[in-house]
Amino acid sequence: MTTVELTRFRVEPGRAEPVAILFVSILHFITDGDDPYGTVARFRDAAAPGSFMVVSHVTSQNDPRLAAAVQRLYHARAADGKARSRDEIAGFFGRWEMTEPGLVYMPQWRPDPADDVPACPEQFWFLGGVARKPVCSSLQEFDGLADEGGGFGGAQR
């Protein structure tokens, strides 16, 4: 699937069922010039409340210089891409609520058994996390509009 195909994502009008959006080992192949944050935001915005999004992504968190060298080699041999920092990867989730254990190195994401985490999980170079789109009641949404001066006819409380 190309970036162009990803950006053409559509949801049926009136679709209210939550969905699972899986960005597993793909976002690091979308360079900043191709607007990965805008692409992911379109998926987030189209999803119904209660939906979940999974992201796993190569990270430059522990050794940015080594990550840059690997990135240059990869560009020369295979495909474009970008290793991103923890904060950059967290940005893909927007305002969605992270589930436990948050954005962590992949071996730390719910290991089974719990003590089955290697001594140096950062050696795997991948961060992963799951977030849920908040579910708001109509009253909460109205209250938010009223607080911003919105509501019916712009009436203030």
**All domains of the chain, ordered by start, with CATH?**
3-154 (3.40.50.150)
Q: Which candidate, 118, 122, 106, places its Cα nearest to that of 54?
A: 106
Determine if the pTM surpasses 0.85: no
Residue 22 pairs with which residues in a beta bridge?
54
pLDDT at 53: 97
State the Cα–Cα distance between residues 93 and 29, nearest whole angstrom: 17
Long-range contacts, 105-111 (Cβ 8 Å, 24+): 106/56
Mean pLDDT of 80-99: 93
- The per-residue pLDDT for 104 is 93
> pLDDT digit string (tens) for 35-55?
999 999 999 999 999 999 999
